[in-house]
Amino acid sequence: MYREYLQKMIGFDKWHLNSLNERFYALPTINRINEILQKENPAGTVIEVGCGLGDIISAIHRRERMGYDIDKRAVRGARILHPLTRFRTGSFDAVRDKKIAVLIALNFLHRIDDKECSQYFRDLLCYNEVDRIVVDAVQSPPYQYAHDYEKLLGDLGYTLEYKSRGYAAYRHSIRKILYFRKSWDV
Ligand SMILES: C[S@@+](CC[C@H](N)C(=O)[O-])C[C@H]1O[C@@H](n2cnc3c(N)ncnc32)[C@H](O)[C@@H]1O
């Protein structure tokens, strides 16, 4: 109810009215990242790029957590809904000089072509130190682009650590969540 009121006031995309339960990948991903943080306590900030209203990043158990989104209306809503999380307007290229324990990018890279997606990660890794990367793999069609993250992130020195089961996604397709970790020998 409160979100619907905020949506009318701020005008962010109505997609954000979906609850975490309706995003089938969201709660298992949050739980797995929280388990990693609890077990290994890696140093650094947890960052979500494309965070929308910040529901995923704000459920991560780490004081140093930040969400980035290119839509300033989503960022405005996120700041109201989650005052204990820091939010910035921008994308991968706005993330600079950070030590990052986990970088999360879910449910938007399927709109970005291979070249731009690869450049986003190159820039990110050029300007920041990133231990883990969590992305979603979808099918094309129905999504516009399906990236080969094992190749893309493998070329940048990351190894696939875990692949989730498939979660129901757009038009009877499935979405899997991929967890990558920096390979120390690269
Ligand atoms: C479908 S929502 C997903 C939100 C959240 N990641 C989740 O899974 O619940 C996609 C979000 O990505 C944002 N977005 C799209 N392209 C982006 C980009 N290039 N950089 C950063 N954010 C982007 C949109 O503004 C939107 O808030």
pLDDT of residue 51 exceeding 60, the answer is: yes
Residue to probe by mutation, ligand 1, list 108, 136, 164, most atoms within 8 Å of CB: 108
pLDDT of residue 157 exceeding 60, the answer is: yes
Closest atom of ligand 1 to 120 CA is 19
Q: What is the pLDDT of residues 87-146, one digit of tens each?
A: 999 999 999 999 999 999 999 999 999 999 999 999 999 999 999 999 999 999 999 999
Q: What's the whole-model pTM score?
A: 0.97
Domain ranges of the chain: 2-182
CA atoms of 166 and 32, how far apart (whole Å): 15
Contacts of 5 (CB under 8 A, 6+ apart): none
Q: What is the CATH number of domain 2-182?
A: 3.40.50.150
Integer angstrom CA distances of residue 169 from 36, 59, 64, 145, 149: 25, 22, 30, 14, 18
